[in-house]
Homo-oligomer: A and B are copies of this chain.
Amino acid sequence: MDLVRSTIERYVPLKEHEWERVRVCWKELLFPKGEFISRVGDVEHFFYIVRGGVQRLFFEHDGTSICLGFSYDHSWSGDYESFLQQKPGRLNVQAITDTALVGIDHADLIALYDEVPAMDRFGRLILEELLVGRATREIEQIALTAEERYRKLVQRSPHLLQLVPQKDIASYLRMTPETFSRLRAKV
């Protein structure tokens, strides 16, 4: 549970009694490679911190998977959109490698928000991060060509190329696997 504490304390300090209250809400969960963590149409009950492994966030469209993002190491995971609204989600989350997550149930988090004020702030701060990340990505999707998006990824997240199948990265970069492969050969 140290992972949870240190993760939260990267954003807000917790007094000892607050941490005692918070810690009991988190559960360790394991997903073998290939398993689904969340599915389209289901309400996402958990918000996750990633202990280990890589996950992809995607949806199906016209028979192909479209990948919206990856999560790994100390980042967040799950279908936030469904989690936040507690409505059936539009996204799948799948373990690309064997995965260990630490999750908190929505009802527990809501209770924490009421009982531990620091958690409200924690929630605000991670949402700020998520929003800034999305905004950056949106601008890049619009302003860059396929080749520029490829180059940027290689330079920013070279480890991803090792961790996940090329077809997923291709889809994440909004191009076909063929285009991705050609860029690889060329650049």
Contacts of A123 in B (CB 8 A): 124
* Contact pick for A68, options B120, B132, B138, CB 8 Å: B138
Contact indicator A134/B134 (Cβ below 8 Å): yes
Contacts of A154 in B (CB 8 A): none
Q: How many angstroms from the CA of A80 to the CA of B123 in the assembled complex?
A: 17
Contacts of A143 in B (CB 8 A): 59, 61, 66
Whether A185 is near chain B, meaning CB under 8 Å from some CB there, is: no
**A144-175 toward B: CB 8 Å interface, digit per residue (1/0)?**
00000000000000000000000000000010
**A23-65 toward B: CB 8 Å interface, digit per residue (1/0)?**
0000000000000000000000000000000000001010000
Residue ID in chain B nearest A80 by CB atoms: B131
Contact indicator B121/A59 (Cβ below 8 Å): no
Contact indicator A142/B84 (Cβ below 8 Å): no
A35 to B: closest C-beta gap in Å: 23
Using known A-B contacts A113-B121, A121-B113, A123-B124, determine if residue A142 contacts B80 with beta carbons closer than 8 Å: no
Q: Chain A interface (Cβ within 8 Å of chain B)?
A: 59, 61, 66, 68, 80-81, 84-85, 90, 113, 117, 120-121, 123-124, 127-128, 130-132, 134-136, 138-139, 142-143, 174
